[in-house]
A = this chain, B = another copy of it.
Amino acid sequence: MNDIVTDCHGVKALSEIFKLLSEPNRLRILCGLGMECQSVGSIVEETGLSQTNVSFHLRLLREAGLVRPEKRGAFVYYCLPDQKILALLDDFRSWAETLEKPETHKKAS
């Protein structure tokens, strides 16, 4: 019995997570939530995105279970279900920094 990785099952589900994380603004939202739960308005303020846009992204993250809403009066606070993702993101980032991109052969004609 090989690894998940070796026989590649779960690829579809994994790719969907990555698709969510592939949007810079969504990634910023998640990063901002790292510290503590935040209201939508607070996220709007912090990111500089429109309220509509933030709501749009939050819905996608919410439906995937990447963030969890929490009603507090008229406000909705969004939280990370666990902190593990922050560590994962950090691992990924430090690994990504080690990647050597090949030369981009630009011809001076």
Which residues of chain A have a CB within 8 Å of any CB of chain B?
Answer: 3-8, 10-19, 21-24, 27-28, 31-32, 34-35, 46-47, 62-66, 68, 81-82, 84-86, 88-102, 104
Contact = CB atoms under 8 A, between A and B. Distances in A.
A6 B31 CA distance: 6
B91 A91 contact: yes
Contacts of A93: 4-5, 10, 13-14
Nearest to A43: B4
14 contacts: A3-B90, A4-B28, A4-B46, A4-B47, A5-B28, A5-B34, A11-B31, A14-B89, A14-B96, A15-B27, A62-B102, A63-B102, A88-B91, A88-B92
